[in-house]
Amino acid sequence: MSSEAETTSMNDSPVVECTDVVRTYARGSTGRLFSRQPGTSVTAVDAVSMAVQRGELVGLAGPSGSGKSTLLHLLAALETPDSGHVQITGVDTTSMGERGRTAIRRDHVGIVFQRFHLLPSLTALQNVALPMIEQGKGKRSRRRRARSLLEDVGLGDRLSHRPAALSGGEQQRVAVARALGGNPDLVIADEPTGELDSTASEAVLDLLADVATDHAVVVASHDPMAIDRMDRVLRLRDGKLTNGQTQ
C-alpha cells in the first residue's frame, strides 16, 4: 500500500468504535446497584455497536437510566464491557489492564464529567493545565494553552479563581476547557451544558463544534439545544440503541 493510501485509510478509521458491548451491574435485594447481597442484575448497555469518525459531533440521547453515562464510560475506557469490544484509535482497550487504559485516556481522550471533578486546591488555570503535566508538556506551553482555552469558554477573567469561588456554570466551563487541554483525539462529554444558562451553553457548544472539526466528540445530553447541534444523534432506551446512525 502506498504512503498516500495508508494515510487515507488511517483518516477513514473511526477514532472510537464499540462492537456488541454489554455492561451489566449487580442489583442487591435492597435495590442498590453494586450491592454484595444476592439479587437481580441490571443490563445498563445491551449489545450496542457504534463508531465515531474524526470530524463528527455525535449525541447520545435518552431518558435517565437509558445507559448513556455507562456507554460514555465504556467509550472512554473508564470501564470495560462484560462482552464485546471497544477500540480507541484502532487499539482494543477491552482486555487492557488499568495501567494501559490510563495511558490511552491520557494520550487520546478528554472527558467532561457530569460532576466536574475539579481539584479544589487548584486554580482554574492549574486545573486546565493538569492533563498537560501528565503528557510531559513544559510549564510555559501548558499555561499558554490553558489560558487560551479558558478565554475560549469565556473565563479569561477567572484564571486565578479556585472552584469554590466559581459558580456551577463556571466550573462546568473549566471542566470543558480541561478536557481539551491535552488535544485529545476523542472528547467525551456527559451533560456539558447541564449547569449553564443559554448564553454559556451556546459558547460551550460552539467550542465543542469547533473541536469536532479535527477530533471525534461524543456528547450525552438531555438538553434539546445541545441535541439540535449534533451532526447525528443515537438514541438509547433500556441500554439498547433505538435508532441507527441518524439525526
Who has greater pLDDT, 130 or 4? 130
pLDDT of amino acid 245: 46
pLDDT band at 27 (very low <50, low <70, confident <90, very high): confident
Cell of 237: 432506551
Q: Which domains does the chain have, with CATH numbers?
A: 52-80+93-241 (3.40.50.300)
Instruction: Give the C-alpha separation, 69 to 86, whole Å.
Output: 15
pLDDT of amino acid 207: 85
Stretch 198-227: mean pLDDT, rounded? 90
